[in-house]
Amino acid sequence: MPRMLLSSIFLSLLAGSALCAGAPGQLRKDASGVHPQSMAASYGGARSDSSIPSSPFRNLDFDFKATVSFGSEYVFRGQQRAKHSAQGGVEISTSGFYAGAWAILPTEDRFDAFQTEIDIYGGYGMDLTESVYVDVGVTGYIYNSPQLLFAKKDSIEAYAGFTIDTYLNPSLYGFYDFDTKAKTVETAVEYSLPFGRTDLVLGATGGYTSGRGYDYLYAQTDAEVVYNFNRQASIGIGGHWAISEDHQFLDGLTARNNDTTWYGITLKARK
């Protein structure tokens, strides 16, 4: 794929983010766009002994999320990291602060070419204006250590960005990995079309990353049908397509085309 086409995709997404910046929108409650249900915490509320100090968490509302999914591929910033894999994560948040963990376990690995990955992250987000949500945080990437020449090493990455809660929900984020010295800029848009309990969610992402020995553009499109059992639980079935200049899409250990398609099934719960 010519670099000019990938550049056009990336610049189009950036332009879309800029064009939507001034439009009105409902407040976005967290980085994922979910409006979590309030959980009122009342620790020690029934105690009458005033000599017992109250908990500092007494008036905080905690929100919880959990995700379990299966994907025919795992693609991260234009690189295929695994074929069939199981994935899952949990997150807790309160008063703008959040922390979570996410893991991926390859379930098909004929040549022992893929790595188990665990991400541990935390950050803080807030509504800058009525429609702009800003977010900063840190992610730690933890990998197993197979005897592979190009195996990923543990690293720590900082990020910052913003999302505009309006038409297409445009976002723009920057990332910096302190261990690999990799710098990434990524922009995305998303549109959700409801049909009763079912939503059709369409998305597109474009990015540029550079580090030690690499420098490339990537893009991805997503389409997912999500059925909402209720306000707390949903299931989604989606299809995805990604393309990259890096030529890192693999079939076993054999390099192939610089684009790929895959599917995924995701269960989500929140409280």
120 vs 7, residue with greater confidence: 120
**Tally of CB atoms within 10 A around 135:** 21
Predicted structure pTM score: 0.76
What percent of the chain stands above pLDDT 90? 57
Which domains are present in the chain?
3-23+66-270 (2.40.160.40)
Q: Tell me what pLDDT residue 115 has.
A: 86
91 burial level (CB within 10 Å; 0-12, 13-18, 19+): buried
Q: Tell me what pLDDT residue 159 has.
A: 98
**Whole-angstrom Cα Rg for the chain:** 20
pLDDT category at 144 given cuts 50, 70, 90 is confident
Q: Among candidates 212, 191, 211, which has minimal Cα distance to 201?
A: 191
* Bridge-based pairing state of the strands 117-127 and 97-106: antiparallel
Tens of pLDDT, residue by residue over 206-222, are 999 998 878 899 999 99
| Buried residues in 47-84 as b, exposed as e (16+ CB within 10 A) | eeeeeeeeeeeeeeeebebebebebbbbbebbbbbbbe
Distance of alpha carbon 49 from alpha carbon 63, whole angstroms: 29
Q: Among candidates 93, 135, 109, 75, which has minimal Cα distance to 263?
A: 75
Tens of pLDDT, residue by residue over 24-70, are 333 233 333 333 333 222 223 333 344 444 555 566 789 999 999 99
Distance of alpha carbon 165 from alpha carbon 129, whole angstroms: 10
